[in-house]
Amino acid sequence: MLKMKRRMYITISCLLLLLSTMCNTSVSANEARDRTEVLQEIDEYMTRSMKANHIKAASLAIANNDEVFYAKGYGTFADGQSVTEETPFPIASLSKSFTALAVLQLADKGMIDLDATYASYFPELSPKDPRVLDITIRHLLNQTSGLNDKVNPDMTRNPQFQSLNETNRLLNKVQLAHNPGTAYSYHNPNYVLLANLVESVSGEFFSDYLKKHIFEPLGMNHTFSVTSTQQINDNKTIPLGHYLSLGRSIGQSEPLWFIEGPAGIASTAEDMSLWMLAQYHGSLLSPALMKQYHTAGTIGPYGIGWLANQDESGRRTISHSGIFWTYKSEEMVYLDDQMGIAVMFNSGLNAFVNYSAFIDGIANIMRGEKPTISFLNGRNMEIIVIALILVTLIRGVFAYFRIRRRNKQLTISKLILITFGRLIPVLILLSLSPLVTFIGGGRVLPWLGIWTTLSSPIIWLVVCSLVNFVHLAFYYYIYIENKKNGYA
């Protein structure tokens, strides 16, 4: 009886073990099949979204749990060479989180006090505005220093800085827009100053510090830092940037801009995946400082190199976008889900392209939801603008004949009203810079940046203006003729 029970026990154990093995094999097969389907869906979504927005090349990085889930390049270089997961792209302002990490690492070692003043590390400063002496390291990190683009030119600075050593000069001359720590103003030179601080305190060149203490420890072997956009233009391993105009993607070198600290890093899909993994599995900071690193500031959601927030489900997120005129990048790390998504593009900021929608679409796929591509995508919006240009030209021709038929009804009061109405497109064109600054939260853009961002609407406004000038010339000719003939 005992032997029978023992045989039954052994038999049942073997059956359970076999069943368990079969189940595990089945689960593994399902996981492999599901992953293949997910990756296929991601590829299809990326391809369709790029086509819908006239984007020539992009790079996608996905970190999930403990692994690099997916890293892939899409599209080609100008010479037809394929973009791969090892192709570097400028990540623009995504660089700020790296600069912030460098500052926090030095704080971890007791070399920097986040609540000490910046001036305490540079006693040679002699600012004309005494409030500059109250700017702390934390103010710079949180973008609450009192500096902004209006009082301290960034993209419009001419000439641009050549090195970090020059940057302290701006603090001696500037008049702050507000008291430090009282208002948020996104301003790239805050992070130029932080890069200068890292270089001064560590005794290493900023690019060398990033490589030795961040890139190499994380295995980011294809990531590097530059000082200006000229080095991006000269680097042939980086795809040529583009801007969009009337449905065409136009190749363009990035305008000259000093970017070391706030926007100077170029990286790859593989490396960005490793970077995002480090946000929830990293050991580059103490737990206390890592928590601060991912926490919003006291004024608004901007924390320490990240926008710290919650999504619609209440899950903690850290994110940032990167903007150049011919490149764009988006990054979102879902801390509670242990997932990160970054996408880099070789096309720049454009009024009609919602680059953050790529992040939302990929996140939906990763969660088993269906991604959508908005009807109001870049391609369709460009078609609408082209249609508006054609309608404007056609209406302009018909309006010419209508003006001729009503030539004797023109009075001085009507002429004044007509003149004002016809000059509206010109007034909008002349007001574009302050309008963009207002909409952009105080950022002051160079005219080249306004052009690459709003190329198609600007062309439409120019066409409207030219048509209206022709009409006005004819109106004034008619009015003068009427006056000669006694009608006016």
CATH of the domain at 289: 3.40.710.10
pLDDT (0 to 100) of residue 384: 97
For residue 325, the SS3 value is coil
Asked if the structure places residue 371 within a domain, the reply is: no
Q: Which residue has the tokens 């005494």?
A: 130
Is-contact 302 232, C-beta < 8 A? no
How far is the C-alpha of 255 from the C-alpha of 144, rounded, in Å? Answer: 27
**Pair (355, 469) in one structural domain:** no
Classify burial at 368, counting beta carbons within 10 Å of its beta carbon; exposed 0-12, middle 13-18, buried 19 or more: exposed
- Is 373 inside any structural domain? no
Asked if residue 349 lies in contact with residue 450, where contact means CB atoms within 8 angstroms, the answer is no
Indicate if 170 and 41 belong to the same structural domain.
no
Same-domain pairing of 315 and 253: yes
Encode burial over 72-103: b for 16+ CB neighbours within 10 A, e otherwise.
bbbbebeeeeebebebbbbbbbbbbbbbbbbb
Assess if residue 303 is contained within a domain: yes
Residues 81 and 127 in one domain: yes
Q: Do residue 249 and residue 362 come from a single domain?
A: yes
Contact between residue 272 and residue 91 where contact means Cβ atoms under 8 Å apart: yes
Tokens standing for residue 413? 């009061």
38 in any annotated domain? yes
- Look up tokens 């305490």; give the residue: 120
Q: What is the DSSP string of 293-323?
A: HTS--SSSSB-SSSEEEE-TTS-EEEEEEEE
Residue 411 within a domain: yes
Given 307, 339, 366, the domain boundary residue is 366
CB neighbours of residue 482 within 10 Å: 16
Tell whether 419 and 460 lie within a shared domain. Answer: yes
Residue 240, φ and ψ in degrees, nearest 5:
-60, 135
For 196, list phi and psi in degrees, rounded to 5.
-65, -40
CA distances to 100, 127, 170, 259 from 192, in Å = 11, 17, 11, 7
Residues 441 and 355 in one domain: no
122 and 241 part of one domain:
yes
- Is beta strand 307-310 parallel, antiparallel or unpaired with respect to 339-345? unpaired
- Please tell me the distance from the alpha carbon of residue 116 to that of residue 86, in angstroms, as a whole number: 40
d(CA 478, CA 470): 12
The tens place of each residue's pLDDT in the chain, 488 residues long, gives 333 334 433 443 443 344 344 333 333 333 444 899 999 999 999 999 999 999 999 999 999 999 999 999 999 998 899 999 999 999 999 999 999 999 999 999 999 999 999 999 999 999 999 999 999 999 999 999 999 999 998 888 888 888 898 889 889 999 999 999 999 999 999 999 999 999 999 999 999 999 999 999 999 999 999 999 999 999 999 999 999 999 999 999 999 999 999 999 999 999 999 999 999 987 889 999 999 999 999 998 899 999 999 877 888 999 999 999 999 999 999 999 999 999 999 999 999 999 999 999 999 999 999 999 999 999 999 999 999 999 999 999 998 888 777 666 778 888 999 999 999 999 999 999 999 988 887 888 889 999 999 999 999 999 999 999 999 998 888 888 878 877 65
Residues, the chain, total?
488
Give yes or no: residues 246 and 276 share one domain: yes
The per-residue pLDDT for 8 is: 39
- State the total domains in the chain: 3
Question: Which residue, 340, 337, 222, 321, is CA-closest to 278?
Answer: 340
Are 189 and 173 in contact, with CB atoms under 8 Å apart?
no
Residue 103 lies in a domain: yes
Distance of CA 188 to CAs 125, 385, 435, Å?
A: 20, 33, 20
Partners of 136 in the β-ladder? 117
Residue at which a domain ends, from 346, 366, 386? 366
Own/partner long-range contacts of 348-351 (Cβ < 8 Å, ≥24 apart) = 348/241, 348/242, 348/243, 348/323, 348/324, 348/452, 348/453, 349/323, 349/324, 349/325, 349/449, 349/452, 349/453, 350/243, 350/244, 350/378, 350/452, 350/453, 351/453, 351/454, 351/457
CA distance 440 to 95: 20
24/82 same-domain check: no
Amino acid at 361: G
DSSP 8-state symbol, 76: B
pTM, two decimals, is 0.89
* Two structure tokens written together for 147: 């500096």
Instruction: Tell me which residue range forms the domain holding 342.
Output: 56-366
Rg value, the chain, Cα: 29
- The pLDDT value recorded for residue 2 is 33
> How far is the CA of 67 from the CAs of 124, 358, 391, 413, 453, in angstroms?
47, 21, 53, 72, 36
Residue 330 is assigned to a structural domain of this protein: yes
Question: Distance between CA atoms of 362 and 340, rounded to whole angstroms?
Answer: 10
Does residue 372 lie within any of the structural domains? no
- Tokens for 273, please give them: 């995946």
**The pLDDT value given to residue 76:** 95
Same domain, 42 and 66: no
| Distance in Å from the first CA to the final CA of the chain | 125
Q: Are 97 and 8 found together in one domain? A: no
Domain boundary among 366, 397, 426: 366
